[in-house]
Structure 1
Amino acid sequence: MTQPNDLLPEGLEDRLPLEAARITAAMRACLAVLESHGYDRVRPPLLEFEASLAGRMAGVAGGEGRAMFRFVDPASLRTLALRSDMTPQVGRIAATSLRNAPRPLRLAYSGDTVVIKASQLDPARERLQLGAELIGADTVAAASEAVMLAIEALKAAGLTGISVDFTLPDLVDTLAEKAFPLASEQIEAVRRELDTKDAGGLRSAGGAAYLPLLYATGPFDKALAALRDVDAGGALKSRLDGLEAIATSIGDAARITLDPTERHGFEYQSWFGFTLYAEGLRRAAGRGGTYRIAGTDEPATGFTLYLDRLADVAPQPEAAPLVWLPLGYDRAAATALRASGARTLAQLAEGEDPVALGCTHILEGDALVELAPRA
């Protein structure tokens, strides 16, 4: 019987065996891909001093620091924070403990994050985050590697119908500087109207010159051609050439689209950002792009995958046979079974029912015998 104290806080939930198995299988598959490409795993702590973590998150995560749980450390009497994003922690590691490591530095990570308040679109307050960071490079080659690595990881996790949506996070800033000048007080208004795709609002904000950007979206080749027409004075040529080179490296590994003014989730990216989608997922499977590490301004490129979401559509991993070990079983035979990949369940008392406990086989001496399922 459920007791009132057994209820979980809003936005938190238990992961039961089948779902936990999918999450674990997806995590292992993705990490195996990252490791195979030379990305070494790091494990930052769940807690850090608030001043350090919030400072780095304000610099690289668009003010995410406001979403963190905070409390006082009884040992130091300083304020601690529970991480809401792992990317800034990886940046801190690169800037401190691994500051003398050769560049480019390739790091991978996976761990839980928690936010104080979730959005209506994503009510979960606890998320399992997995990603890769290429520290010391934000070039076209680095971006191409990050996108392809993310696609490969999603496929290894069993996802299909993968698509990638490119964006140019600093597009307005770049155009406002020379090609389509804007006063400083106009820039944010123009960004806001581009976000809402409001042509009338864009004109009212003084951004009439930016109207063609609203229509430079969709399938990559068509959208890129439309964006090149906007490129007044060559202000965007190097960026657009970079997008084309990244798309070429992807080839037919994923469907590619372009939305050059998309900013949601790209508050800290520099010249390039991308969002990953997969068949069956209502929300993004992950995001990535180029950025600068707060504190050192070192260039970096990376991505984050949302493992909890992936588990919603990832295939259920095939369970290994569960073998019943009756009282007095042969321990050497049981050890050999586990070494071969089987799972075992040892009987503890008389009267236990192996079939009810999910066993598919029984160990009789050193022989494996299949159990008849109950009708």
Structure 2
Amino acid sequence: MTETNSLSHTDVCIVGAGPGGMLLSYLLNQQGISTTLIERQPHLHKSFRGELLNTDGEAILKKHGLFTHIQELGALPLEQIQYWEEGNILHTIDPDLNKGERHVGIHVPQDHLLEAIMAQTDNVGPLHQTRFNTVMTGLLRDKDRSIAGIHVRQNGVPAYIKASVIVGADGRYSAVRKHAGLMPEIRKHGYDLLWARIPAPAGWEPAVRMASMDGQQLALFSQYGGYVQIGWNIPEGGYAKLREQPFAPFVGKLVAAFPCLADSVAAHIQNWSDFVLLSVESSYSARWAMDNVVLIGDAAHTMTPTGAFGLNAALEDADILSDLLIQMAKDDFRSVDALQQLQDIRGTKVQQQLARQIEMESSFQQRYESFR
């Protein structure tokens, strides 16, 4: 089928309506730069598990006047990091008041984050378009083979979007990255992750709780709305073998570590299907930009859940890239050389965070043992 339907002609086409893509669209529209934001899902209510803001992400949202709008929808500051064993707290880490810290992280449901930013974007004016049910299928090239936009399927119908700049904000399996040939170096971390979400018991204080299960990390995160998110590390590739074992003894370890969860676990984690398996890996693209294509967030540098860096790094990328694009717009995007500067500015910090994740993962058991 020939793609003849043009959806838009825009300054910047952003692929992926996650936190980074949504923030970038908002910041550009504030400066009169038109954006088309495409999202493969039919709405903003996507499955997302990295919902913890740290001080970096919080600072970005406050800088742009967005944090209060997110708070109005609901967010939960976490008061401590706690290390537990068999129902007892071994060690606690409090916010560093000398550094102005008031929490060890803030849980923000992704729905609240995206809806708050989108509402403010809609208030800016008509320069922003969001197109749901829209999947990128390739790069659009002009007769000189220069990249002129992207091919898409919207509601299954082929079309195209012309744009001066294409931003890949579409996550760890980025279509933009694939079609631009900006392939990353992928690193496995020796473990996979089981996720579950259950109601919190009465009196459950907002905190990050850690325990060791057979030498593997078990992390519990308090969530806004009265929930507990469970992240349970298991050996990489070991899930099939794990499922061959009886379920009750396995989940019984969780209850032994946190006895007050017994009723909630019994009601909501009854078999293996009540866990979601996440294959854990990190990645770093040697190049984040090519011609007029640039990557941000997980598309450029996928992070593991350790340390909750991913969401915040995407917001930082969007903040810096917006400044670069605003400068490029002054010259009507005739030069795209400035896109290369994003990696120059952000690359060192991102690589430090990736290295920090590896250190945190490898030292967890030793650190845990020191508290016993």
TM range, normalised to the smaller chain? under 0.3
**Higher-strand-fraction structure:** 2
Highest RCO, 1 vs 2 (Cα 8 Å, sep ≥ 6): 2
Q: Provide TM-score, normalisation by structure 1.
A: 0.26
Q: Provide TM-score, normalisation by structure 2.
A: 0.26
